[in-house]
């Protein structure tokens, strides 16, 4: 119990240091939520937020998520994936000049961009589902803005100390020490920002090659431009703008209102348990009052500068740091944890009405999102498993539509485009089907009589073919048009692709 006393004393001391830091603070208020509605009039410039470090489950979870996401971001371009000779061996590569996207075993050609669209739809639906179940999980844990801001705040804390020290430092006059701390912080920020922009460009070119070019200063100017651009935005958004990005720039806080409902798990202050709030003396009775001792730790910890006790608000990214802050205090004052916790609006009502709170995850909304998600995932899977490595398209000549030859027969010309998506050369045999009496030929210089087309690995071959029909057969075609098929067969594997096209003649 002495522990509680010292904590409260320490908090009081800290509050004294903080006093006056917030221009909108009311008298006697120790921690001010600078971005809460009552403290932020419409016409006012930003008041800096000094989030305090907390310890606990969610802080640990956030460290973990940060480590995992940043590792994925920085390491992915360096993963190698052997695709055979003459092809990039980078696992994830967005190769714009060659018009290919590589994702491990998957290779996307421009005409297959719907796979990327599908992935984006899956991501959006996943976001909807998660939001309807547990609120702004994306915002709170995984959004790059949150992750980098968190990292930048940590750097700031390393150089300038925790909340109270930072406030004092900002209020103190300039000195060599202050300059050194500030310079160290900004320099580290710039380095992180450069690394962020640097990692970004590695997704668009062979990473080791580009890294070598950076070292010898002969990387393409576009690479420097994008490193600079992303370094600048990382520094500005993560270091300077921070919570303003979420509050003013991001559209998602506005959209999410439609995503969650009264049964969604949201980081909330349990008003029914916490009120009436007020300072509590050690040993005093808890009868007739709420569990909230109004220590303001939830406000101090908030990176968005709000007071979670004001209820659900647009600014809240649901990072759950206030839960950790409050749990720490609840442990010290020996009250049960979870005064601030993931809770639903309905459960607040249920508790007030004396009912047992329960989770209602299976709701029409979540079921609908899940079903649509599963449906799109299934479509994607089917499309992916049916993806062929042989793609054929046939273009019939339109100018002229047909040519009369000296023996009176009618000839049509076709461009047969054969796409070989395999990583080795393939030999294809081209034939026609469904046009009786027709003769398939190639231009004289392409090699007489041969219907064999060789397509290099990962390439498209454009082969020209002629189909001729004797005069009497051509004349017999109804309406001058007849459909038939080009059949392209892989001579090795026997795989067949068939494309329908039209033979045109003068008709009767």
Partner 1 sequence: MSEKHKDDVTGVETTGHTWDGIRELNNPLPKWWVYTFYACILWSFAYWVVMPTWPYLTGDGWTYTQGVIGYEQRNIVTNELAAVAEGRSGAMEQIATMPLEEIANDPALMEVALGAGKAAFGDNCAPCHGSGAQGSKGFPNLNDDDWIWGGTLDDIHTTLLHGIRWDADDETRLNIMMAYGRDGILNRSEISDVAEYVLLLSGQPHDGEAAVRGTAVFESQCVACHGDAGTGNRELGAPNLTDAIWLYGGDKEAIVETVSNGRSGVMPAWGTRLDEGTIRSLTLFVHSLGGGEK
For residue 232, count other CB atoms closer than 10 A to its CB.
14
Of residues 468 through 487, those in contact with partner 1 by CB under 8 A are 471
Minimum distance between the CB of residue 456 and partner 1, rounded to whole angstroms? 11
Distance (Å, rounded) from C-alpha 47 to C-alpha 43?
A: 12
Minimum distance between the CB of residue 328 and partner 1, rounded to whole angstroms? 40
DSSP 8-state assignment for residue 90: B
The label of the residue with tokens 């270091």 reads 239
Q: Is 413 in the site for partner 1 (CB under 8 A)?
A: yes
Contacting range for partner 1; rule: CB under 8 A; set: 69-77, 145-153, 401-409, 473-481: 401-409
Contacting range for partner 1; rule: CB under 8 A; set: 54-62, 164-172, 270-278, 442-450: 442-450
Minimum distance between the CB of residue 375 and partner 1, rounded to whole angstroms? 45
Q: Which is nearer to partner 1, 365 or 411 (CB)?
A: 411
Q: Which is nearer to partner 1, 276 or 406 (CB)?
A: 406
DSSP string across 68-109: HHHHHHHHGGG-B----TTS--BSEEEETTTTEEEETTEEE-
Minimum distance between the CB of residue 390 and partner 1, rounded to whole angstroms? 21
Q: Which is nearer to partner 1, 72 or 445 (CB)?
A: 445
Nearest to 424 by CA among 33, 189, 84, 159: 84
Three-state secondary structure call for residue 373: helix
Q: Which is nearer to partner 1, 290 or 413 (CB)?
A: 413
Contacting range for partner 1; rule: CB under 8 A; set: 112-120, 186-194, 309-317, 398-406: 398-406
Build a one-symbol-per-residue string for 93-132: x at contacts with partner 1 by CB under 8 A, - elsewhere.
----------------------------------------
Q: Is 443 in the site for partner 1 (CB under 8 A)?
A: yes
Q: Which residues pair with 93 in a beta bridge?
A: 102
Q: Which residues pair with 420 in a beta bridge?
A: 390, 459
Among the listed residues 42, 72, 284, 353, the single contact to partner 1 using CB under 8 A: 42
Among the listed residues 2, 26, 27, 43, the single contact to partner 1 using CB under 8 A: 43
Q: Is 505 in the site for partner 1 (CB under 8 A)?
A: no
- Is the peptide bond between 396 and the residue preceding it cis, with omega within 30 degrees of 0? no
Q: Is 508 in the site for partner 1 (CB under 8 A)?
A: no
Task: Say which residues have a Cβ less than 8 Å from residue 341's Cβ, sequence separation at least 6.
Answer: 267, 268, 270, 323
Among the listed residues 67, 84, 464, 491, the single contact to partner 1 using CB under 8 A: 464
Query: Which runs of consecutive H residues, i.e. helices, occur in 296-406?
Result: 297-301, 321-332, 345-352, 364-385
Instruction: Locate the DSSP E strands across 356-471.
Output: 390-396, 403-404, 410-420, 426-433, 439-441, 452-455, 459-469
C-alpha dihedral, 242 to 247 to 252 to 257, nearest 10°: 140
Distance (Å, rounded) from C-alpha 142 to C-alpha 63?
A: 11
Minimum distance between the CB of residue 462 and partner 1, rounded to whole angstroms? 10
Number of residues that bind partner 1 (CB under 8 A): 22
Three-state secondary structure call for residue 318: coil
Task: Say which residues have a Cβ less than 8 Å from residue 301's Cβ, sequence separation at least 6.
Answer: 51, 52, 53, 54, 321, 322, 324, 325
Contacting range for partner 1; rule: CB under 8 A; set: 10-18, 97-105, 138-146, 391-399: 391-399
Minimum distance between the CB of residue 395 and partner 1, rounded to whole angstroms? 14
DSSP string across 6-19: HHHHHHHHHHHHHT
Of residues 22 through 41, those in contact with partner 1 by CB under 8 A are 41
Among the listed residues 408, 437, 506, 507, the single contact to partner 1 using CB under 8 A: 408
Q: Which residues pair with 414 in a beta bridge?
A: 396, 465
Where on the chain is the footprint of partner 1 (CB under 8 A)? 41-43, 397-400, 403-408, 411, 413, 443-445, 448, 464, 466, 471
């Amino acid at each position: 119990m002495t522990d509680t006393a010292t904590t409260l004393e320490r908090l009081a001391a800290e509050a004294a240091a903080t006093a006056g830091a917030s221009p909108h603070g009311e008298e006697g208020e120790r921690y001010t939520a600078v971005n809460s509605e009552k403290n932020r009039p419409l016409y006012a410039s930003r008041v800096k937020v000094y989030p305090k470090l907390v310890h606990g489950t969610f802080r640990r979870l956030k460290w973990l998520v940060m480590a995992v996401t940043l590792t994925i971001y920085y390491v992915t371009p360096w993963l190698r994936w052997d695709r055979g000779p003459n092809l990039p061996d980078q696992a994830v590569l967005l190769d714009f000049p060659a018009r290919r996207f590589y994702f491990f075993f998957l290779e996307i050609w421009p005409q297959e961009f719907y796979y990327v669209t599908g992935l984006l739809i899956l991501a959006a639906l996943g976001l909807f589902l998660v939001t309807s179940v547990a609120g702004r999980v994306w915002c709170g844990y995984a959004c790059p803005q949150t992750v980098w801001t968190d990292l930048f705040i940590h750097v700031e804390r390393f150089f300038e100390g925790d909340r109270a020290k930072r406030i004092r430092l900002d209020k103190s006059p300039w000195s060599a020490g202050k300059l050194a701390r500030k310079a160290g912080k900004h320099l580290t920020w710039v380095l992180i920002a450069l690394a962020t922009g640097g990692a970004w460009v590695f997704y668009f070119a062979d990473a080791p090659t580009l890294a070598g070019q950076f070292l010898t200063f002969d990387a393409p100017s576009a690479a420097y431009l994008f490193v600079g651009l992303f370094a600048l935005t990382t520094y500005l958004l993560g270091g300077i703008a921070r919570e303003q990005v979420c509050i003013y720039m991001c559209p998602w806080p506005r959209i999410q209102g439609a995503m969650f409902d009264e049964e969604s798990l949201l980081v909330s202050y349990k008003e029914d348990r916490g009120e009436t709030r007020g300072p509590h003396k050690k040993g005093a009775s808890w009868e007739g009052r709420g569990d909230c001792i109004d220590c303001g730790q939830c406000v101090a910890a908030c990176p968005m500068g709000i007071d979670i006790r004001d209820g659900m608000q647009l600014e809240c990214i649901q990072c759950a740091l206030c839960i950790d802050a409050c749990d720490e205090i609840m442990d010290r004052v020996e009250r049960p944890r979870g005064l601030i916790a993931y809770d639903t609006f309905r459960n607040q009502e249920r508790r007030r009405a004396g009912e047992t709170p329960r989770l209602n995850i299976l709701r029409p909304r979540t079921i609908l999102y899940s079903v649509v998600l599963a449906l799109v995932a299934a479509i994607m899977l089917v499309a992916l498993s049916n993806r062929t490595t042989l793609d054929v398209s046939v273009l019939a000549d339109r100018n002229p539509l047909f040519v009369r030859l000296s023996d009176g027969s009618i000839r049509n010309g076709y461009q047969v485009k054969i796409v070989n998506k395999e990583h080795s050369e393939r030999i294809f045999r081209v034939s026609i089907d469904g046009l009786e009496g027709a003769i398939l030929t190639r231009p004289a210089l392409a090699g007489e009589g041969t219907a064999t087309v060789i397509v290099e690995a990962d390439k498209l071959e454009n082969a020209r073919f002629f189909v001729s029909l004797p005069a009497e057969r051509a004349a017999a075609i109804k309406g001058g048009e007849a459909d038939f098929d080009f059949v392209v067969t892989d001579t090795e594997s026997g795989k067949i692709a068939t494309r329908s096209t039209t033979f045109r003649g003068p008709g009767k």
